[in-house]
Copies of this chain bind each other. A is one copy, B any other.
Amino acid sequence: MSVEILSKQLCHGGAVSTVAHKSTSLGLDAKFMLFRPAEALRGDKTPVLFLLAGLTCTHETFLQKSTIIAEAAACGLTLVAPDTSPRGAGVEGENDTYDLGTAAGFYLDATRQPWASHYRMGSYVADELPELIRTRFGQEGSAFGIMGHSMGGHGALVHGLRNPSLWQSVSALAPIVHPSVVPWGTRAFKAYLGEDRESWAAWDAVSLIASGRRHPNEILIDQGTADQFLAQELRPDLIENAAAKAGQPLTLRYHAGYDHSYWFIQSVISDHVAHHARLLGARS
């Protein structure tokens, strides 16, 4: 497993790096961004927070635009920002639209060709990347949390519910909560998973809760009311209702006038860092 640190730039007493590696899950070269706070650079273990970005984003977007690093440095959190899809899979049409293929991997494992060979962001996020952070970056035994925005919010919710023993803290910003019933999700799931809608439930947060999955800790969701995708694609009311019915602890907060952009994300990011820091046992 070859891992190459392409850059290392100091930031808030820690370091931001771009890391390249050969991904076994994806069968392709992959890159992610990493922030290691001062403690991690000294070799200490720290809590680790995964950051999943949305459609059209890359591994760079979350760290560049969310303003999360200052807060993560203050709490001593390691940050890991994966890419939003495999790159260079060579699937015909993968670069043709913004909501399928490149930068639209939906953090799941495709089962249908031609996607199934490389579009395996599910295993990449759930298994390969945590293992790489543990073994190559000195985080054996560290606590892991996961958060994301939009498609990445879907990813954070789904992975948190699928594997709550790995992801001890979960939060989402303007997430897609029920991809099985909204245009972005149904388009992607048909392509990646096929027409059998029962197979979709394993990658859908509302369906997972409805089928009995639980996370022991409160899930935090923030949503702007002026988000252009709120009514058609995001529908956080659906997960709020499902969680209430199921007894899943979940807090959904609406923010009047905020939209879907990183200007919104940066406005609430400190509450998310505090949420994860508390649940992961970081200093606050």
Residues of A that sit less than 8 Å from B by CB: 9-13, 16, 64-65, 67, 69-70, 224, 226, 255, 257-259, 261-264, 266-267, 270
Tell me, in angstroms, the Cα distance from A258 to B12 when the chains sit together. Answer: 10
10 closest cross-chain pairs (CB), A and B? A11-B263, A67-B67, A9-B263, A10-B258, A10-B257, A12-B267, A16-B263, A11-B267, A9-B259, A9-B261
Evaluate contact between B10 and A264: CB separation under 8 angstroms.
yes
Closest chain B CB from A222 CB (angstroms)? 13
17 A-B residue pairings within 8 Å (CB atoms): A10-B224, A10-B226, A10-B255, A10-B257, A10-B259, A10-B263, A11-B263, A12-B266, A16-B263, A67-B67, A67-B69, A67-B70, A67-B266, A69-B263, A69-B266, A70-B266, A70-B270
Closest chain B CB from A252 CB (angstroms)? 18
Closest chain B CB from A66 CB (angstroms)? 9
Smallest CB gap from A267: residue in B: B12
CB neighbours (8 Å) of A261 from chain B are: 9
Tell me, in angstroms, the Cα distance from A69 to B12 when the chains sit together. Answer: 17
CB neighbours (8 Å) of A263 from chain B are: 9-11, 16, 69
Smallest CB gap from A63: residue in B: B263
CB neighbours (8 Å) of A257 from chain B are: 10
Picked from B11, B12, B266, the residue with its CB within 8 Å of the CB of A11 is B266
Smallest CB gap from A64: residue in B: B65
Smallest CB gap from A256: residue in B: B10
Smallest CB gap from A225: residue in B: B10
Evaluate contact between B11 and A264: CB separation under 8 angstroms.
yes
The CB with the most chain B CB atoms within 10 A, among A16, A64, A65, A226, is that of A64
CB neighbours (8 Å) of A67 from chain B are: 67, 69-70, 266
CB neighbours (8 Å) of A64 from chain B are: 64-65, 262
Tell me, in angstroms, the Cα distance from A257 to B13 when the chains sit together. Answer: 10
Tell me, in angstroms, the Cα distance from A64 to B262 when the chains sit together. Answer: 9
Given contacts A10-B224, A64-B65, A70-B266, 9 further A-B pairs with CB under 8 A are A9-B261, A9-B264, A10-B257, A10-B267, A11-B263, A11-B266, A12-B266, A16-B263, A69-B266
Smallest CB gap from A226: residue in B: B10
